[in-house]
C-alpha cells in the first residue's frame, strides 16, 4: 500500500502550485525530488500525467481524472489523521504563518512564542512581510491580514481583532499650526491657505487615504498635503513625534507615545475607525488540531492588545 501512495502528494502539490519548483517549496524538498517522484509515479501507472514544455506544464486528460481522485483520497487521509489528532488533543507539529512585518514582530510574535512555551511539541515557522502571500504557493498554513479580504471561496477567515486607528500629533505641532477640533475642521483646512500637513503611509506607489466615521455614521475620506510618505509605520511614528505633521496610526503603535505625552489625540472621533484583522487559511475538509489551537490563541489574546488607549 505504501508504494501505491508514493508520488501522489508530490503530484497533487505540483498541480495545485502550478509548477514543480513551487511544489518543492511547499513540501520543503528539492525540485528534482518532486520531478523524480512524479516520473516514478508516471512509470508505475504507465501513463503521462503532465504535458511539459520548457516554459509550462499542463495536465493530460488522464492527469485531470487522476488528480481529482488523488485529491479526494488525500483529503480522506487528512480527515482520518484529524480524527486521531483531535482525539489525542496534543498540540504537535509545524505551523507556518505569515503576518504583517511590524505588527507581527511587536504583537503577534510574542504571543506565539508564549504559545510555543506552553506546548513543547509545537513548532512554528514565522514569516514577517507586508506583501500579500499565496498560502498554497508558499506552503503556508495561516496568514494574518489587515483590512478588506478578497472575495474567494478558496480561503476561510477568522476575525481576531480590529486594528483601531487614531489621529495624533506632537503638542508642539498643534501649538504652531493650530488644533483642529473635529473632522469638519480637518477637512476645511484642505482649502485654507495654511492647510495642516500629514505624514502618510504609502506602498507600491499607493498613498493611503484617511478614513473617519462622521457624526451620521458615514465614512469621510481625508487627504492632506504631505512632505513624508513611506511604507514604515515606525518611521511615521517618529516623524509625528518630531512635529512633521498629523499622523493616522494604529492605536497599539501610538499607545506609548500617547501615554508619555510626546503625542496627543487630535480630537475624539464620533465613532472609532479600524481595519479588521483576520487569520486566513486554505479551505480544506478539516482543520488540524495544532492549527486550530494557534487560531484560537490569537483570537483570544490579540484583541486586548489592540484597544484604543
pLDDT digits (tens, 9 = 90+) for 245-280: 999 999 999 999 999 999 999 998 888 999 999 999
Q: Which of 241, 227, 231, 117 is nearest to 171 (CA)?
A: 241
Mean pLDDT (whole number) for 221-246: 92
Q: In angstroms, what CA-CA distances link 221 with 183, 190, 224, 228, 275?
A: 10, 12, 10, 19, 15
End-to-end CA, the chain: 60
Mean pLDDT (whole number) for 114-129: 94
Residue 57's pLDDT is: 80
- Do 199 and 246 meet the contact criterion of CB atoms below 8 Å apart? yes
Exposure letters 152-178 (e unless 16+ CB within 10 A, then b): eeebeebebbbbbbbbbbbeebbeebe
CA separation for the pair 57, 52 (Å, rounded): 4
What are the pLDDT digits (tens) for 26-44? 776 778 888 888 888 888 8
Q: Which of 52, 71, 61, 60 is nearest to 11 (CA)?
A: 71
Task: Categorize the per-residue pLDDT at 70 as very low, low, confident or very high, splitting at 50, 70 and 90.
Answer: confident
Residues in the chain, overall count: 309
Task: Categorize the per-residue pLDDT at 85 as very low, low, confident or very high, splitting at 50, 70 and 90.
Answer: low
- Do 50 and 66 meet the contact criterion of CB atoms below 8 Å apart? no
CA separation for the pair 237, 258 (Å, rounded): 11
Residue 198's pLDDT is: 94
Helix, strand and coil in the chain, % to nearest 5:
45, 25, 30
- Taken in order of first residue, the domains within the chain and their CATH numbers are 8-85 (1.10.10.10), 93-160+277-305 (3.40.190.10), 163-274 (3.40.190.290)
Residue 186's pLDDT is: 82
What are the pLDDT digits (tens) for 162-200? 999 999 999 999 999 889 988 888 877 666 666 789 999
Residue 111's pLDDT is: 96
Task: Categorize the per-residue pLDDT at 309 as very low, low, confident or very high, splitting at 50, 70 and 90.
Answer: low
**What residues are paired with 220 via a beta bridge?**
212
The answer to whether the predicted template modeling score (pTM) of the entire model surpasses 0.85 is no
Residue 1's pLDDT is: 42
* 67 pLDDT higher than 70: yes
- Label residue 37 left, alpha or beta by phi (over 0 means left) and psi (-120 to 50 means alpha): alpha
Alpha helices in the chain (DSSP H): 2-5, 8-17, 20-27, 31-45, 61-88, 101-103, 109-118, 171-177, 183-188, 233-241, 251-260, 289-301
Task: Categorize the per-residue pLDDT at 151 as very low, low, confident or very high, splitting at 50, 70 and 90.
Answer: low
Residue 169's pLDDT is: 96
Residue 24's pLDDT is: 80
CA separation for the pair 2, 5 (Å, rounded): 5
Q: Which residue has the higher pLDDT, 29 or 63?
A: 63
Q: Which of 149, 119, 167 is nearest to 266 (CA)?
A: 167
- Do 230 and 202 meet the contact criterion of CB atoms below 8 Å apart? yes
Q: Which of 16, 293, 295, 25 is nearest to 156 (CA)?
A: 295
Q: In angstroms, what CA-CA distances link 156 with 62, 128, 277, 278?
A: 31, 21, 13, 9
Task: Categorize the per-residue pLDDT at 243 as very low, low, confident or very high, splitting at 50, 70 and 90.
Answer: very high
- Mean pLDDT: which of 78-92, 140-154, 238-252, 286-300 is highest? 238-252
Percent of the chain at pLDDT > 90 equals 41
* 86 pLDDT higher than 60: no
The pairing of strands 226-230 and 198-203 is parallel
Amino acid at each position: 500500500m505504501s508504494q501505491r501512495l508514493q508520488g501522489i502528494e508530490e503530484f497533487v502539490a505540483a498541480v495545485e502550485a502550478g509548477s514543480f519548483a513551487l511544489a518543492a517549496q511547499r513540501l520543503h524538498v528539492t525540485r528534482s525530488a518532486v520531478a523524480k517522484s512524479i516520473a516514478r509515479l508516471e512509470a508505475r501507472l504507465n501513463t503521462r500525467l503532465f504535458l511539459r514544455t520548457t516554459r509550462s506544464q499542463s495536465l493530460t486528460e488522464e492527469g485531470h481524472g487522476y488528480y481529482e481522485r488523488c485529491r479526494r483520497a488525500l483529503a480522506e487521509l487528512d480527515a482520518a489523521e484529524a480524527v486521531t489528532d483531535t482525539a489525542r488533543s496534543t498540540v504537535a507539529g509545524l505551523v507556518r504563518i505569515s503576518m504583517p512585518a511590524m505588527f507581527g514582530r511587536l504583537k503577534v510574535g510574542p504571543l506565539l512564542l508564549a504559545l510555543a512555551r506552553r506546548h513543547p511539541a509545537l513548532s512554528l515557522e514565522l514569516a514577517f512581510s507586508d506583501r500579500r502571500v499565496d498560502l498554497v504557493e508558499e506552503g503556508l498554513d495561516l496568514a494574518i491580514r489587515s483590512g478588506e479580504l478578497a472575495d474567494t471561496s478558496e480561503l476561510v477567515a477568522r476575525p481576531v481583532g480590529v486594528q483601531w486607528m487614531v489621529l495624533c500629533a506632537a503638542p508642539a505641532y498643534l501649538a504652531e499650526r493650530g488644533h483642529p477640533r473635529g473632522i469638519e475642521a480637518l477637512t476645511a483646512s484642505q482649502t485654507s491657505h495654511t492647510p495642516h500637513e500629514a505624514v502618510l503611509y504609502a506602498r507600491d506607489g499607493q498613498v493611503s487615504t484617511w478614513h473617519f466615521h462622521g457624526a451620521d455614521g458615514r465614512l469621510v475620506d481625508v487627504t492632506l498635503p504631505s512632505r513624508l510618505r513611506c511604507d514604515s509605520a515606525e518611521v511615521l511614528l517618529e516623524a509625528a513625534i518630531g512635529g512633521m505633521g498629523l499622523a493616522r496610526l494604529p492605536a497599539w503603535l501610538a499607545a506609548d507615545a500617547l501615554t508619555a505625552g510626546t503625542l496627543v489625540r487630535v480630537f475624539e472621533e464620533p465613532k472609532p475607525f479600524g481595519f479588521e484583522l483576520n487569520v486566513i487559511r486554505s479551505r480544506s475538509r478539516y482543520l488540524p488540531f495544532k492549527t486550530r489551537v494557534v487560531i484560537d490563541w490569537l483570537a483570544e489574546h490579540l484583541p486586548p492588545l489592540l484597544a484604543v488607549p
